[in-house]
């Protein structure tokens, strides 16, 4: 037969088929019942629900045939999809389109074929419901009508599967959105709780990021220093509230202790550490942190002395 011709919408057709997530799935009674009924009505030994994937014809349901798929180029079904209508081949050996097909010339030596297309509402041909025989024959009008009716029922099952897949996808998206909303709500609640704890503290809490920008400035800090959190958070560094002379003195002390020049920046705000004697058998030496500065400046320039 050679390579089977492709429909004009082949890429979109294959995409529509694969979106059903049906290829490779286990047999299902909903399809098997229709296949058996087609074989019974048409009085043939073989009936198939075949779905045409990229280069193969895969059988979702089959009666009288053991294989699960065959090469697309060997099939009658591609011709059915091209004409998008019922195809009846009374004797394949006498039909030049199929006479040289391996299905006709070798096992299983098919002589008769009748197939009804499975077409989506968008016009994509997914495959066929077909009946086959080893001898030439014809179907009467009632059998042909029944085959087409059964094909519509197969298509209804496929559409139902698509609807279920879309519902599942919608549900999953909704769950993802709900989870993100829940996470955002919990994060906000946690932030509010943390802020409430910070604001409820009766001592000043000021923190910075690695660049030195103030990120936390609690209510106690506002009361003590006269700045609002909105004025300083994300906008300035703690150098704002320190006595420049003390910062210069601290920079000189650190330069002497460390043997490197310390600039008048955040490095000069490092606290002092005092070594303590070991109080454990492990030999660990403890240190305590002491304030590096004795005064802080309020917003209007008045100094506040710290207690040591």
Residue ranges of the domains in the chain? 10-164, 206-305
Smallest Cα–Cα separation from 147: which of 112, 124, 111, 114?
114
Mean pLDDT of 164-181: 79
Average per-residue pLDDT for the chain: 80
91 Cα distance to chain centroid:
50
- Which residue did the predictor score with more confidence, 47 or 185? 47
In angstroms, rounded to a whole number, what is the distance separating the alpha carbons of residues 147 and 126? 16
pLDDT for 243 beyond 60: yes
Strand boundaries in the chain, DSSP class E = 46-52, 56-63, 69-71, 87-89, 112-119, 125-133, 206-208, 214-217, 272-275, 287-290, 295-297, 303-305
pLDDT for 288 beyond 60: no
170: left (phi over 0), alpha (psi -120 to 50) or beta: alpha
pLDDT recorded at residue 213: 83
The CA distances from residue 101 to 87, 96, 130, 241, in Å, are 16, 10, 17, 91
- Which residue did the predictor score with more confidence, 37 or 176? 37
pLDDT for 245 beyond 80: no
Answer whether 0.85 is exceeded by the pTM: no
Q: What digits encode the pLDDT tens for the residues 10-20?
A: 899 999 999 88
In angstroms, rounded to a whole number, what is the distance separating the alpha carbons of residues 86 and 220? 84
Tokens standing for 69? 């798929």
Tell how many helices (H) and how many strands (E) occur in the chain: 8, 12
Cβ neighbours for 134, distance < 8 A, ≥ 6 positions apart: 45, 108, 109, 110, 111, 112
Q: What digits encode the pLDDT tens for the residues 189-220?
A: 777 777 777 677 777 777 777 777 888 888 88
Tokens standing for 106? 């070798």
β-bridge partners, 273: 289
Helix axis angle for 29-42 and 141-200, nearest 10°, is 170
The lowest-confidence range among 80-89, 103-112, 249-258 is 249-258
The CA distances from residue 24 to 5, 116, 166, 268, in Å, are 24, 22, 19, 69
* Beta strand 295-297 pairing with 69-71: unpaired
pLDDT recorded at residue 211: 72
pLDDT recorded at residue 276: 42
pLDDT for 304 beyond 60: no
Mean pLDDT of 114-143: 95
- Between CA 124 and CA 134, with CA 129 as vertex, the angle to 5 degrees is 135
In angstroms, rounded to a whole number, what is the distance separating the alpha carbons of residues 204 and 284? 31
CATH number of 10-164: 3.30.450.40
In angstroms, rounded to a whole number, what is the distance separating the alpha carbons of residues 148 and 166? 27
For the chain, what percentages of helix, strand and coil (3-state, to nearest 5) are there? Answer: 45, 20, 35
pLDDT recorded at residue 274: 45
Smallest Cα–Cα separation from 149: which of 176, 126, 183, 118?
118
Q: What digits encode the pLDDT tens for the residues 249-285?
A: 777 877 777 777 766 666 656 555 444 444 445 554 4
pLDDT for 149 beyond 90: yes
pLDDT recorded at residue 269: 61
In angstroms, rounded to a whole number, what is the distance separating the alpha carbons of residues 117 and 52? 11
Mean pLDDT of 35-40: 98
């Amino acid at each position: 037969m050679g390579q089977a011709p492709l429909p004009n919408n082949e890429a979109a057709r294959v995409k529509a088929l694969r979106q059903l997530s049906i290829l490779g799935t286990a047999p299902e009674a909903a399809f098997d019942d229709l296949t058996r009924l087609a074989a019974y009505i048409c009085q043939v030994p073989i009936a198939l629900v075949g779905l045409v994937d990229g280069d193969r014809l895969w059988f979702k349901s089959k009666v009288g045939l053991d294989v699960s798929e065959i090469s697309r180029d060997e099939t009658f079904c591609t011709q059915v999809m091209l004409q998008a209508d019922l195809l009846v081949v009374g004797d394949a050996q006498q039909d030049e389109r199929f006479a040289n097909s391996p299905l006709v010339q070798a096992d299983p030596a098919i002589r008769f074929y009748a197939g009804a297309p499975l077409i989506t509402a968008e016009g994509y041909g997914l495959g066929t419901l077909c009946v086959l025989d080893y001898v030439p024959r014809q179907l009467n009008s009632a059998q042909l009508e029944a085959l087409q009716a059964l094909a519509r029922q197969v298509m209804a099952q496929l559409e139902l599967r698509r609807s279920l897949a879309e519902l599942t996808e919608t549900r999953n998206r909704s769950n993802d959105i709900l989870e993100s909303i829940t996470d955002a709500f919990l994060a906000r609640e946690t932030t509010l709780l943390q802020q409430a704890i910070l604001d409820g503290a009766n001592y000043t809490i000021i923190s910075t990021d690695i660049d030195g920008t103030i990120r936390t400035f609690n209510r106690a800090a506002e009361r003590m220093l006269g700045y609002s959190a909105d004025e300083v958070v994300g906008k300035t560094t703690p150098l704002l509230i320190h006595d420049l002379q003390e910062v210069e003195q601290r920079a000189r002390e650190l330069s002497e202790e460390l043997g490197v020049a310390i600039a008048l920046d955040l490095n000069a705000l490092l606290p002092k550490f005092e070594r303590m004697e070991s109080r454990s058998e492990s030999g660990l030496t403890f240190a305590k942190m002491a304030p590096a500065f004795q005064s802080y400046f309020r917003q209007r320039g008045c100094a506040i002395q710290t207690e040591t």
